[in-house]
Amino acid sequence: MKLSFGRKTMVGAIGTLVAIGSGVMVLAAAGIAGWEYTNSDQFCETMCHSVHPEEIASHKTASHARVHCVECHMGRNSTLKLIAMKPTHFKELWGMIVGYERPLHASGMRPAREACEACHYPQTEHHDSIAVNKRYGTDPKSSEIEYRLTLHTSADAPREQPWKASGIHWHISSDVQYKSPDVQGRAIPWVQVTKADGTKVTYIDPESKLSADELAKIEPRRMECFNCHNAVGHPFPNPADRVDAAIASGKIDRALPSVKARAVTLIQSAEDVSGPLAQRTAVIDKLIAENATKSPVAANLKEKDQQFQKVMKDILLTATFEEKGVTWKSFPNHGQHRDFPGCFRCHDGKHLNDKGEAIRLQCTLCHNLPQVSLESGKGSVASTVVAGVTPPDSHNEPNFMHDHRSKIDDTCSMCHGKLDFGREGGNFCANPACHGRSWPAVDLNVELKSAQGATAPAPAPAAPKPAKAAPEKAMSNKK
């Protein structure tokens, strides 16, 4: 049978195909546009996460401001994989509709190999880095203290032998598992390291309040980049550090009397400020005005004082939050150990394996000993390298940084010079960076507290083995 089509039939068929094709193209374009929009920062900020206004503002001024939300929270995966992952976020929808407690931690972070390592590949060769921080005292001159650190960020391990990496990025090159009872990972009572030969070594904090059964129920997690660098996307730094940065950059002038002390007073008075932005602004404006009234300045400093008030308003607004009880302290930074335990969550000298060996508490694993310059003092004194002498075995003990104060003898002066305890510099044992403050979770002060509460110099029990002569080698401080 032969079919014949007239002109009208042909035109109608072509028109139908064109219409269908156009519809498909429109739907495809709409789908692509919709997909792109749901992956945009704007969608994350306004449609889903308007309950997190502080994180949004923080991200826009952070070092990862040009990294889109989905690149970390969903990873840099193929489109098909991302489409399959989208429905897993629907569980948050009900909470958005009926309301839920404000989360302080992202529980759905993708593995670093799908996110961080798309830009930061840990096995590539890179060099140690130098960090220079300037802090200011609360004395009338706001005296400057400069800290210089060499960070051991090198990962110069062969690609086929990543376990040979050393320094900070050893944690990523090696297979390290950990358990934490809280979503923010503030405490880590259990650590397991898989060695190159496949053997596993488990370290447990005997002071943990968790029972063995409770610890066994916690699922282990692999140590990822963001377990330490957890604040790179939405950092909430200590506002006092932001004040130091403002003074160092000249935004706040040290010509103002006791300007750092005034800033600290303002920070402390604003700790409990919360509520909508307009409400916080009004309260902070009042606090700044009262501070200015209590600290009048000379006429020639009025303009600088106005600038100080402007900068402090910005710092205080970004350090306060809508929800009552939430502060910058609610968001720990695990990449350091100044305000939060951070590194000391594991490296506290208390996590022991079945042989009684501890995870090493040695600062020099990750950075050199800090070099400090005090504007109003002597500063730190570096160790003297002595030819023909190697460090005693005590230097490699896991808890050396905590115990070295009680293992002093005359041989120490061969490399470290005069051995006087202190916090003001002038000799090797008086490094202000080590002994000038209290560290969270670890006590490195130069005094020991007696049972009665009085302070006394650290005792000097049995001396370590004398340094061994090694004419063919020069002593090295590299651990």
CA–CA distance from 370 to each of 241, 286, 383, 425, 430 (Å)? 18, 40, 11, 12, 12
Q: Where are the domains of the chain?
A: 39-118, 124-236+339-368, 239-330, 377-479
For residue range 379-408, list pLDDT tens digits in order.
898 887 777 777 788 888 888 887 887 788
Under 8 Å between Cβ of 270 and 316? yes
DSSP 21-57: HHHHHHHHHHHHHHHHHHTSHHHIIIII-TT-HHHHH
For residue range 299-347, list pLDDT tens digits in order.
999 999 999 999 999 999 999 998 888 899 999 999 989 899 999 999 9
The pLDDT of residue 50 is: 64
The alpha helices in 77-136, defined as continuous H runs, are: 79-85, 93-98
The pLDDT of residue 305 is: 97
The pLDDT of residue 192 is: 96
85-89: Cβ within 8 A, 24+ apart = 86/38
CA-CA distance, 221 to 104, in Å (whole number)?
Answer: 19
CA-CA distance, 21 to 271, in Å (whole number)?
Answer: 61
The alpha helices in 295-344, defined as continuous H runs, are: 302-318
CA-CA distance, 92 to 13, in Å (whole number)?
Answer: 47
Q: What predicted TM-score, i.e. pTM, was given to this entire model?
A: 0.80
Q: What is the mean pLDDT of each run of 10 residues along the chain (479 residues)?
A: 62 80 88 84 75 81 88 86 80 72 76 85 75 94 94 67 67 89 92 90 93 93 90 92 96 96 96 93 97 95 97 94 89 91 91 90 87 87 77 82 80 83 85 82 57 35 34 31
